[in-house]
A and B are shown apart, each in its own frame.
Chain A
């Protein structure tokens, strides 16, 4: 920003109409800073309501606001110190169809403070379609970043594929867990879902038993509470089945244990006192029936600290007590529950179950606090980083209003200084010419057209990979599939039938060489997918049974559970081809394994390639980055959360014209 322009920006700022998406951690800070900076017409979209754990950083909210719309409360709070500006709250999902391209077109700039990849991609597409500049941001712990996306000038949010959510192999979860997170995934995705969730969903809880006689029908019965069965008997029966019988079954698969420690079956009679932990007034302690979120097995059992690691016996008690409370106090929820990190009883049940399983497999146990963090994908967040990032967003937004293309920067907020910088600006990338989103580059798909159904294509590619919500699929001019409220009934029937057909047998045959057109009306995104037929796929490496090319995800860490990722939270994650320049900055943070109890510390180390001459001599900061060149800082465990801020070619250095600058087109 040139000096003279700061004052001339005033009028631009005053007249600008900005859209903020997200009124959470970054959003609260952003709305405040926008208002102070002189913005007078601000729309905010946020579908969320306020929770207690927001209050440590979302400073526009108070205890008394818990349960209310973030967008609306944020507006009221800011109007108290800037009463004469216009703030329009939308308590809605940004993916709602009425936030269409025309809606986006009314804004001078869109500012994202979102917490998930899906919504970010959606907003990116709408901004591209509406040709409205987007300032994107994310934070996790002490790390943060701000990027600017202007169609045709800088890369779009999707020009660089984002890290895939962490996944785990099915058999690791069902049979051979080696880390606590595996037990958490098992407890949450399999056991909790089985007992309290939708019974019609597929569930792998029992599949890996070697006992072929135990057909799935038999097993179904095990989880069903018998008529008039005493609730404690039922709880103990489930306990013995999943922690005892199932482990015995698994042990009978000798091959599995050749190179592994054998797990130990655990039965309730061994960990619990004789029948009935007494009903010591549980019910009354837990207050009235309508406060579901506070219903707690810990309270019933007189246990207090979520930081304590419970013994096996305590875990067993919590397991039985939580199960009882679900069946006696929340019976109406059973069959429709999905795990929610704000559901105390669910967190207790999952913690206890994961710990008992961990105990079987000789894995260290964890506290409820830690287990909750893992199960809920909780992202670490502090107010200070959000405040800094909000300041940076406003600075970029003003540059966008001034159309100072050459001064756009993406800025990293670091925990440890990199070349003396805590805030490190980098020139934005050019658009990626092979991006299917902003460059409309065709994709190609290897698929078995005789085996894969249209449904597989829709679910695994169009929705999961391409991020479309209301797709239309066409082969030439023939419509194969579409979604919408206003479809004719016969078309709905027709499309439903198509979904179940393999590609080759669709009314308009799809085979190798076919080009399908996939379109999302709301996002105004069209893309072409060239179909290549392939017979076989590797079950482990290509579990989808299809391979999308032309736009690739970075290698996923492990398969199976979309569970453990930092990217879900709004965070960081930037792309950038690492090899584009000799100046490479990578920052990898690895969370410590939880061996040493709560203080979970985030580490971040930076390593700079050559040419990144540290302004020598006066830096007092001990330099642990001297193994110049490569960039690996792995802590102790490669499976924990990882944030990668990578590829920062042409690090901008205003003091030195020798740095490689990448010119914008």
Chain B
């Protein structure tokens, strides 16, 4: 009799009450190719994640598409604006004509389209002003993504996320013309980093809030810092001071923007050439979002959210910039003071791979 090593073992699956945890056959078939990338565990965690997106535009539309396809648990959209040509321009989730929109909000229109992408994801739209939502509202989510709002709103939502006992990951994303920026706040985040062949290190990352990060003195930032970082701050400040809606800027504003740049550079004691005029010129061009950049930002952001939710892989800390002009997608760590580094906790040999041959 040939020994059968497994045949006599009891079947544990059901006894352990794993029902509901396991992916259905339908899910396994649908997610086959990505389970091969990130594994079954990560997929299970994804299917339980709740995501909130505030502000619908071309970039967040890309992001939503990516995470709905990936199979998150729920996606909630907030944006009470109504159809406009501008809203349509880089967003493939909105019907091409106002007449098809039935007076629905942008959040509702996008939610309708996204539902079709993956019937296993619960997508909904919520009405209301994001600023009026309290902490207990945000506590229902694992991830909050904001776009199309001014700096003060971003900071406020970021702080609300931080005041909740459970960790709510906060992201903001913006595409301006052919440039883009992502900000990430995972508060404190632990993950296992594999080193070389045989080592894994437990790492903990400490993220500053948006407020803290932006308070970092420019002079102390690395010389090779992406110039986009500074340029985005200039535009942001301009919009805040002038009380403009996000992206509500045009070429005629350039002189005022350059003036703010000059003042900022002086206040921060950095050379003005760190914030090139031609870059600012592009950012105020009023072209809105450039769809290829939306796709890139939505892809990178989607990947980051999937990482954070599934606790797989090293998340980016804490800014990402893309500029069509040089084609680079760069990560920058902008932290104030000493919260910036990550501390290896227990370097331990987790796995050792024997190399044969």
- Seen from chain A, the residues whose Cβ lies within 8 Å of a Cβ on chain B are 1-3, 6-7, 29, 32-33, 35-37, 52-53, 55-57, 59, 62-63, 78, 80-84, 141-142, 264, 266-267, 270-271, 304-307, 309-314, 369, 373, 378-388, 390-392, 394-395, 398, 409, 411, 413, 415-417, 420-425, 598-603, 615-622, 624, 633-638, 652, 654-655
B116: Cβ under 8 A from any A Cβ:
yes
With A307-B40, A618-B332, A635-B353 in contact, do A390 and B30 touch (Cβ < 8 Å)? no
Let me know if A6 and B290 touch, CB within 8 A.
Answer: yes
Let me know if B285 and A383 touch, CB within 8 A.
Answer: no
Residues of A contacting B295 in the complex (Cβ-Cβ under 8 angstroms): 29, 32-33, 387-388, 390-391, 394
The distance in angstroms between the C-alpha atoms of A306 and B31, with both chains bound, is 13
Least CB separation from B68: chain A residue: A59
Let me know if B6 and A309 touch, CB within 8 A.
Answer: yes
With A37-B292, A395-B324 in contact, do A313 and B7 touch (Cβ < 8 Å)? yes
Let me know if A600 and B39 touch, CB within 8 A.
Answer: yes
Least CB separation from A600: chain B residue: B36
Which residues of chain B (63-79) have a CB below 8 Å from chain A? 65-66, 69-71
Let me know if A624 and B331 touch, CB within 8 A.
Answer: no
Q: Which of A373, A378, A391 has the most CB of B within 10 A?
A: A391
Let me know if A6 and B178 touch, CB within 8 A.
Answer: yes
The distance in angstroms between the C-alpha atoms of A311 and B195, with both chains bound, is 34
Q: Which 6 A-B pairs have the closest CB atoms?
A: A599-B39, A423-B329, A391-B295, A425-B327, A311-B6, A636-B353
Let me know if A423 and B292 touch, CB within 8 A.
Answer: no
B25: Cβ under 8 A from any A Cβ:
yes
Let me know if B302 and A3 touch, CB within 8 A.
Answer: no
With A309-B6, A422-B316 in contact, do A388 and B300 touch (Cβ < 8 Å)? yes
Least CB separation from B28: chain A residue: A306
Let me know if A420 and B325 touch, CB within 8 A.
Answer: no
Let me know if B290 and A622 touch, CB within 8 A.
Answer: no
B85 to A: closest C-beta gap in Å? 13
Let me know if A617 and B33 touch, CB within 8 A.
Answer: no
Q: Give which listed residue, A388, A417, A599, contacts B299 with CB less than 8 A.
A: A388
Let me know if B357 and A422 touch, CB within 8 A.
Answer: no
With A382-B33, A394-B292, A423-B296 in contact, do A3 and B201 touch (Cβ < 8 Å)? no
B159: Cβ under 8 A from any A Cβ:
no
Residues of A contacting B22 in the complex (Cβ-Cβ under 8 angstroms): 305
Extra pairs beyond A619-B333, A620-B205 (18, CB < 8 Å): A1-B325, A3-B325, A6-B178, A56-B69, A78-B92, A141-B37, A312-B7, A383-B65, A387-B295, A415-B313, A425-B327, A598-B40, A600-B37, A618-B332, A620-B340, A620-B342, A622-B342, A654-B326
Residues of B contacting A29 in the complex (Cβ-Cβ under 8 angstroms): 295
Let me know if A384 and B66 touch, CB within 8 A.
Answer: yes
- Seen from chain B, the residues whose Cβ lies within 8 Å of a Cβ on chain A are 1-2, 4-7, 13, 22, 25, 28-42, 58, 62, 65-66, 69-71, 89-96, 116-119, 177-178, 193-197, 201, 203, 205, 221-222, 224-225, 278, 281-282, 285, 287, 290-296, 298-300, 302-303, 306, 312-314, 316-317, 320, 322, 324-333, 335, 340-342, 344, 353-355, 357
A503 to B: closest C-beta gap in Å? 39
The distance in angstroms between the C-alpha atoms of A509 and B154, with both chains bound, is 80
Residues of B contacting A424 in the complex (Cβ-Cβ under 8 angstroms): 328-329
Residues of A contacting B326 in the complex (Cβ-Cβ under 8 angstroms): 425, 652, 654-655
Residues of B contacting A617 in the complex (Cβ-Cβ under 8 angstroms): 222
With A387-B299, A636-B353 in contact, do A62 and B116 touch (Cβ < 8 Å)? yes
Q: Give which listed residue, A305, A378, A620, A654, contacts B317 with CB less than 8 A.
A: A620
Let me know if B285 and A7 touch, CB within 8 A.
Answer: yes
A90 to B: closest C-beta gap in Å? 23
Least CB separation from A178: chain B residue: B356
Least CB separation from B6: chain A residue: A311
With A35-B92, A383-B70, A624-B196 in contact, do A422 and B300 touch (Cβ < 8 Å)? yes
Let me know if A384 and B306 touch, CB within 8 A.
Answer: yes
The distance in angstroms between the C-alpha atoms of A390 and B92, with both chains bound, is 15
Let me know if A81 and B94 touch, CB within 8 A.
Answer: yes
Q: Which of A1, A36, A53, A384 has the most CB of B within 10 A?
A: A384
With A391-B293, A599-B39 in contact, do A383 and B69 touch (Cβ < 8 Å)? yes
Residues of A contacting B32 in the complex (Cβ-Cβ under 8 angstroms): 53, 56, 369, 378
With A81-B95, A636-B353 in contact, do A416 and B328 touch (Cβ < 8 Å)? no
Least CB separation from B114: chain A residue: A59
Q: Give which listed residue, A3, A56, A384, A624, contacts B285 with CB less than 8 A.
A: A3
The distance in angstroms between the C-alpha atoms of A36 and B94, with both chains bound, is 12
With A1-B324, A424-B328, A601-B39 in contact, do A37 and B291 touch (Cβ < 8 Å)? yes
* Cβ contacts A to B, 11 pairs, < 8 Å: A56-B30, A80-B96, A312-B2, A380-B37, A390-B295, A391-B294, A394-B295, A422-B329, A423-B322, A618-B221, A634-B197
A638 to B: closest C-beta gap in Å? 7
Let me know if B34 and A56 touch, CB within 8 A.
Answer: yes
Let me know if A618 and B222 touch, CB within 8 A.
Answer: yes
Let me know if A423 and B222 touch, CB within 8 A.
Answer: no
With A313-B7, A621-B331 in contact, do A7 and B291 touch (Cβ < 8 Å)? no
Let me know if B325 and A425 touch, CB within 8 A.
Answer: no
Q: Give which listed residue, A267, A387, A602, A619, contacts B302 with CB less than 8 A.
A: A387
Residues of A contacting B342 in the complex (Cβ-Cβ under 8 angstroms): 620, 622
Least CB separation from B95: chain A residue: A81
Let me know if B290 and A57 touch, CB within 8 A.
Answer: no
Residues of A contacting B341 in the complex (Cβ-Cβ under 8 angstroms): 620
Let me know if B325 and A33 touch, CB within 8 A.
Answer: no
The distance in angstroms between the C-alpha atoms of A616 and B41, with both chains bound, is 35
Residues of B contacting A421 in the complex (Cβ-Cβ under 8 angstroms): 328-331
Residues of B contacting A380 in the complex (Cβ-Cβ under 8 angstroms): 33-34, 36-37
Q: Give which listed residue, A33, A142, A378, A621, contacts B292 with CB less than 8 A.
A: A33
Residues of B contacting A81 in the complex (Cβ-Cβ under 8 angstroms): 92-96
With A82-B96, A271-B4 in contact, do A654 and B328 touch (Cβ < 8 Å)? yes
The distance in angstroms between the C-alpha atoms of A380 and B205, with both chains bound, is 29
Least CB separation from A372: chain B residue: B32
Q: Which of A56, A84, A415 has the most CB of B within 10 A?
A: A56
The distance in angstroms between the C-alpha atoms of A395 and B297, with both chains bound, is 14
Let me know if B331 and A422 touch, CB within 8 A.
Answer: yes
Least CB separation from B198: chain A residue: A636
Let me know if A311 and B92 touch, CB within 8 A.
Answer: no
A594 to B: closest C-beta gap in Å? 11
The distance in angstroms between the C-alpha atoms of A56 and B32, with both chains bound, is 8
The distance in angstroms between the C-alpha atoms of A427 and B248, with both chains bound, is 36
